[in-house]
């Protein structure tokens, strides 16, 4: 006879004794059938119920051992080294086009792919849409600086044009030109013919004469113009303002990189927590089913009341509800990570890394704050914006000063004039049917522009920029306080999470031993099913608490690291850092 069978029989005998005592208290007539049933169940259940219970409790032992091995041991695993895109083979994934909408087949035909935390951060930094927008903003500000630098160079423009003009003219002469005294060419009888008669001069216009003429002109012109600002007091402040805005864009991009690495780390740790909760809830539900089968077998043998069976069924239903919610939270965590990675719509990420406990934060609070303030891109972006506003204010004020410019132009023109449909009784001597003409010209000038009065518009714009500059100073103070609050909150939460983890590990060990003890007592009939259920709930709560504390340690470590991550000077990608580099810790300690 096996040990499990002996325990089962011992439990049956103990229960039979309890029933006998109840019969004495409440009357043998009402409980005699239970007393008679207990020995028969002990004898007849050896072939079926006992074997089932032995298999159930063996499975329960395996489940407990399986649950106890999921989370890290007391000593944390060695932290991974910092990785970058050159040391880690990138996962080739094609990001969806920015203006595309997922189609029904893409949403329906989904697949899963596992990613490590390093791979997830690299993908998010490489193809995240918000980071790509930041990179484009940096490129735009760089182009704006290049545009401002062009103010030191002359502006040279080529000008040209083609034209055609047509008009019709009617002339009327109220008084002729014979009285002007210009000689015989303007006299009505200024020319003498061969027969001795006189005729009008070629330019004579009689009084009351009329004439009609149609004219068309084709023209072409071309040239070069040069303009150079010799003295412009607004030029240098404008360039300095553009450079400050470029620094602000770069620092904002660096701060966005820090924030995105933190968001991906939090989402990944959250997915690991959701995966573990699903495993715990599945194991809890399987344990509930094991105990439910045990209670059902005992109920069929008449060894437990109907109340125990109903209670176990209610507990099993609650465990199923918790499992369904854990599975929903897992799906949400996967989708949140997929959005941060900007994955194709048919791809769902899964966490391939096991939960690895991060080490204790190596810096104290003072060193962490000083390191967070030193070169923080969030603060540097505010300072760069304040500097840009100061230079824009100087540039706007310089518009009230004189501006000296050099202007030069040279060109050539050509035209052809056609005249036709000439009629009337005068003015025909000046009509030329086709006339070609061309010419050239050039000019050089110095221009001075000095704004003397604009109704106070420029002065008001200068005051507005000064107020915005003061507002940036207040924004710097607010950002400085936010950084301190975030870092102190993460620092204290990190220490508390480590302490919680130590307590949670002790609680798991105690709860596990308590559950095993109460299981043996329950098998031997010395403990009730209620005590077994409460002990199992305590064990599951301890496992969940240890999971929450472990994930909280990693998340708070990532939050602390977010304020101290080294960032690239240009719009490139940084190294993926999951722990604080020791050389940086030594540098900050020496700086103190």
pLDDT, tens digit, 9 for 90 and up, residues 356-392: 998 899 999 999 999 999 989 999 999 999 999 999 9
Which residue range forms the structural domain that includes residue 41? 1-46
508 φ, ψ to 5°?
A: -65, -45
> Cβ distance 290 to 57 under 8 Å?
yes
Q: Identify which of 282, 305, 285 has the alpha carbon closest to the alpha carbon of residue 295.
A: 305
Query: What is the DSSP annotation of 357-377?
Result: PPPPPSS-HHHHHHHHHTT-H
What residues contact residue 483 under an 8 Å CB cut-off, 6+ apart? 372, 373, 376, 378, 379, 563
Distances from the Cα of 76 to the Cα of 37, 267, 355, 356, 357, angstroms? 55, 21, 10, 7, 5
Question: Mean pLDDT, to the nearest integer, of 75-101?
Answer: 57
Question: Tell me, what's the pLDDT at 408?
Answer: 93
Within-domain flag for 80: no
Instruction: Mark whether 162 and 254 lie in a shared domain.
Output: no
Within-domain flag for 553: yes
Question: Tell me, what's the pLDDT at 72?
Answer: 58
Within-domain flag for 14: yes
The Cα–Cα gap between 447 and 438 comes to 29
Instruction: Mark whether 427 and 361 lie in a shared domain.
Output: no
Pull the structure tokens for residue 373. Answer: 């303030």
The Cα–Cα gap between 152 and 448 comes to 17
402: left (phi over 0), alpha (psi -120 to 50) or beta: beta
Instruction: Tell me how many domains the chain contains.
Output: 3
Question: Mean pLDDT, to the nearest integer, of 525-539?
Answer: 83
Helix (H, G, I), strand (E, B) or coil at 208: coil
Within-domain flag for 76: no
> Cβ distance 508 to 542 under 8 Å?
yes
Which pLDDT band, with edges at 50, 70 and 90, does 16 fall under? Answer: very low
Question: Tell me, what's the pLDDT at 156?
Answer: 93
Q: pLDDT digit string (tens) for 268-279?
A: 999 999 999 999
Within-domain flag for 472: yes
Query: What is the DSSP annotation of 224-262?
Result: EEEEEEEE-TTHHHHHHHHHHHHHHHHHHHHHHHHHHHH
Question: Tell me, what's the pLDDT at 45?
Answer: 41
Instruction: Mark whether 462 and 571 lie in a shared domain.
Output: yes
Instruction: Mark whether 413 and 465 lie in a shared domain.
Output: no
Within-domain flag for 86: no
Q: Residue 123 is part of a domain; what is its CATH number?
A: 1.20.1600.10
Within-domain flag for 51: no
Instruction: Mark whether 130 and 40 lie in a shared domain.
Output: no
Least confident of 231-235, 416-420, 469-473, 577-581: 577-581
Instruction: Mark whether 277 and 351 lie in a shared domain.
Output: yes
Instruction: Mark whether 311 and 435 lie in a shared domain.
Output: no
Question: Mean pLDDT, to the nearest integer, of 162-177?
Answer: 86
Per the model's pLDDT, the better-predicted residue between 202 and 20 turns out to be 202
Within-domain flag for 343: yes
Does the global pTM surpass 0.75? yes
Instruction: Mark whether 30 and 1 lie in a shared domain.
Output: yes
Q: pLDDT digit string (tens) for 187-217?
A: 777 777 777 777 777 777 888 888 888 889 9
Question: Tell me, what's the pLDDT at 590?
Answer: 57
Q: How many CB atoms lie within 10 A of CB 491?
A: 20
Q: pLDDT digit string (tens) for 296-341?
A: 887 888 877 888 888 888 988 999 999 999 999 999 999 999 999 9
Q: pLDDT digit string (tens) for 446-501?
A: 999 999 998 899 999 999 999 999 999 999 999 999 999 999 999 999 999 999 99
The answer on pLDDT for 563 being more than 60 is: yes
Size of the chain in residues: 592
Burial tier of 314 (Cβ tally within 10 Å: 0-12, 13-18, 19+) = exposed
Q: pLDDT digit string (tens) for 123-139?
A: 999 988 999 999 999 99
What residues contact residue 250 under an 8 Å CB cut-off, 6+ apart? 138, 569, 570, 571
Query: What is the DSSP annotation of 67-95?
Result: HHTSS--SSPPPPPPPB-TTTSPPP--PP
Instruction: Mark whether 173 and 302 lie in a shared domain.
Output: no
Question: Mean pLDDT, to the nearest integer, of 34-59?
Answer: 46
Instruction: Mark whether 128 and 213 lie in a shared domain.
Output: no
**Percent of the chain at pLDDT exceeding 90:** 50
Which pLDDT band, with edges at 50, 70 and 90, does 86 fall under? Answer: very low
Mean pLDDT score across all residues of the chain: 82
Residue 216, strand partner residues: 166, 418
Q: pLDDT digit string (tens) for 175-188?
A: 877 777 777 777 77
Distances from the Cα of 177 to the Cα of 109, 186, 465, 530, angstroms? 99, 7, 71, 135
Chain-centre distance of CA 228, in angstroms? 44
Q: pLDDT digit string (tens) for 344-354?
A: 988 999 999 99
Instruction: Mark whether 536 and 474 lie in a shared domain.
Output: yes
Q: Identify which of 566, 580, 585, 554 has the alpha carbon closest to the alpha carbon of residue 255.
A: 566
Instruction: Mark whether 421 and 466 lie in a shared domain.
Output: no
Cα–Cα–Cα angle for 274, 277, 283, nearest 5°? 145
Q: Any idea what DSSP says for residue 443?
A: E
Question: Tell me, what's the pLDDT at 586?
Answer: 58
Q: What is the Cβ-side half-sphere exposure of residue 47, based on CA atoms within 13 angstroms?
A: 3
What residues contact residue 505 under an 8 Å CB cut-off, 6+ apart? 74, 546
Q: Where are the beta strands (DSSP E) in 368-429?
A: 403-424
């Amino acid at each position: 006879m096996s040990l499990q069978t002996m325990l089962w029989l011992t439990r049956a005998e103990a229960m039979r004794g309890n029933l006998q005592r109840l019969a004495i208290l409440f009357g043998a007539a009402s409980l005699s059938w239970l007393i008679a049933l207990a020995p028969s169940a002990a004898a007849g259940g050896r072939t079926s119920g006992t074997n089932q219970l032995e298999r159930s409790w063996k499975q329960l032992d395996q489940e407990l051992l399986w649950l106890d091995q999921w989370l890290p041991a007391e000593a944390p695993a060695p932290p991974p080294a910092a990785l970058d895109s050159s040391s880690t083979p990138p996962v080739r994934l094609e990001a969806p086009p920015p203006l595309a909408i997922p189609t029904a087949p893409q949403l329906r035909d989904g697949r899963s792919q596992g990613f490590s935390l390093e791979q997830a951060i690299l993908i998010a930094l490489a193809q995240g849409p918000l980071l790509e927008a930041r990179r484009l903003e940096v490129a735009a500000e760089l182009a704006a600086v290049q545009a401002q630098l062009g103010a030191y160079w002359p502006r040279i423009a080529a000008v040209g044009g083609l034209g055609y003009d047509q008009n019709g003219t009617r002339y009327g002469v109220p008084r002729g030109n014979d009285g002007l005294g210009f000689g015989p060419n303007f006299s009505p009888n200024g020319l003498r013919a061969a027969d001795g008669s006189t005729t009008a001069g070629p330019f004579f216009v009689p009084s009351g004469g009329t004439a009609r003429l149609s004219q068309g002109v084709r023209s072409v012109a071309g040239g070069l113009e040069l303009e150079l600002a010799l003295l412009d007091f607004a030029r240098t402040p404008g360039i300095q303002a553009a450079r400050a805005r470029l620094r602000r864009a770069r620092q904002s991009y660096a701060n966005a990189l820090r924030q995105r690495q933190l968001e991906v780390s939090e989402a990944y740790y959250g997915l690991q927590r959701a995966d573990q909760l699903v495993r715990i809830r599945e194991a809890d539900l399987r344990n509930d089913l094991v105990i439910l089968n045990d209670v059902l077998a005992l109920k069929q043998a008449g060894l437990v009341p109907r109340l125990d069976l109903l209670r176990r069924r209610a507990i099993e239903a609650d465990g199923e509800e918790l499992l369904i919610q854990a599975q929903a939270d897992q799906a949400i965590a996967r989708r949140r990570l997929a959005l941060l990675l900007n994955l194709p719509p048919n791809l769902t990420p899964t966490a391939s890394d096991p939960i690895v406990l991060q080490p204790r934060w190596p810096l104290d609070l003072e060193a962490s704050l000083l390191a967070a303030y030193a070169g923080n891109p969030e603060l540097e972006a505010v300072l760069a914006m304040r500097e840009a506003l100061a230079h824009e204010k100087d540039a706007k004020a310089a518009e009230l000063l004189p501006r000296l410019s050099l202007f030069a132009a040279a060109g050539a023109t050509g035209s052809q004039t056609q005249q036709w449909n000439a009629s009337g009784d005068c003015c025909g001597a000046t009509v030329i049917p086709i006339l070609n003409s061309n010419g050239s010209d050039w000019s050089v000038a110095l221009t001075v522009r000095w704004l003397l009065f604009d109704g106070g518009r420029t002065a008001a714009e200068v005051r507005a920029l000064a107020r915005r500059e003061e507002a940036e100073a207040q924004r710097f103070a607010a950002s400085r306080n936010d950084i301190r609050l975030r870092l102190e909150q993460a620092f204290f939460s990190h220490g508390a999470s480590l302490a919680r983890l130590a307590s949670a590990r002790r609680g798991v060990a105690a709860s596990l031993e308590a559950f095993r003890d109460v299981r043996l007592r329950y098998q031997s009939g010395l403990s009730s099913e209620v005590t077994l259920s409460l002990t199992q709930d305590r064990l599951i709560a301890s496992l969940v608490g240890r999971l929450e504390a472990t994930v909280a340690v990693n998340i708070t470590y990532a939050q602390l690291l977010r304020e101290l991550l080294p960032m690239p000077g240009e719009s490139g990608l940084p190294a993926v850092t999951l722990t604080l580099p020791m050389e940086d810790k030594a540098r900050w300690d020496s700086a103190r």
